[in-house]
Amino acid sequence: MTDAAVPRPSARVRPARPSAADPGSPRHRRRRVATGVALSAVAALLLTGCGNSRPGTAAVVGETRITDSELQTLVDQSLASPGVREALPNSDYRGDLGAYRRAVLNVEVERLLAESGAQRLGIDIDENKVNARYRFFEQQSGGAGSFASELAARLAVSPSLYRQLVRTEVIESEIGYQEGGVARPSEAQIRAQFQEYLPTAVTATLSLIQVPSAAVAGREAAGLKQTPGNFETVAKKYAGEGSQTAPAPQKYVISRLPPDLGARLQKATPNEIFPYALSNGQAQAFFVIRFAGIERPTLESARPQLEAQSLQQAAAAGQSYLSGVAQDLGVDVNPRYGTWKADQLAITDFVNPVIKPTPSPAGDPGAGGLPGEGGTAPDESSEGSEGGAGSEGGTGSEGGAGSEGGTGTEGGTGATPAPTATPSG
> Cα separation of 296 and 363, whole Å?
76
DSSP letter assigned to residue 339: E
DSSP letter assigned to residue 54: P
* Cα pseudo-dihedral 32, 33, 34, 38, rounded to 10: 100
Q: Using an 8 Å Cβ cutoff, are 336 and 320 in contact?
A: no
The average confidence (pLDDT) of the chain is: 78
Query: What proportion of the chain, given as a percentage, has pLDDT over 90?
Result: 64
- The whole-number average pLDDT for the span 146-170 is 96
Q: Using an 8 Å Cβ cutoff, are 216 and 177 in contact?
A: no
Quick check: helix, strand or coil at residue 367?
Answer: coil
Query: What proportion of the chain, given as a percentage, has pLDDT over 70?
Result: 70
DSSP letter assigned to residue 49: S
Res. 267: pLDDT tops 60? yes
Q: How far is CA 160 from CA 74, 96, 153, 164, 408, in A?
A: 10, 21, 15, 6, 16
> What's the pLDDT band for 351 if we cut at 50, 70, 90?
low
pLDDT of residue 13: 29
Res. 370: pLDDT tops 50? no
- Residue 82: CB atoms within 10 Å: 12
The helix (run of H) or strand (run of E) holding residue 291 is strand 283-295
Helix, strand and coil in the chain, % to nearest 5: 50, 15, 35
Nearest residue to 352 (alpha-carbon basis) of 363, 340, 338, 365: 338
Estimate the crossing angle of helix 144-155 against helix 127-140, to 10 degrees. 80
> Cα separation of 337 and 10, whole Å?
17
- The whole-number average pLDDT for the span 242-251 is 94
> What's the pLDDT band for 255 if we cut at 50, 70, 90?
very high
pLDDT of residue 281: 82
Res. 30: pLDDT tops 50? no
pTM (two decimals): 0.62
Q: What domains are there in the chain, each with its CATH number?
A: 48-183+302-350 (1.10.4030), 202-296 (3.10.50.40)
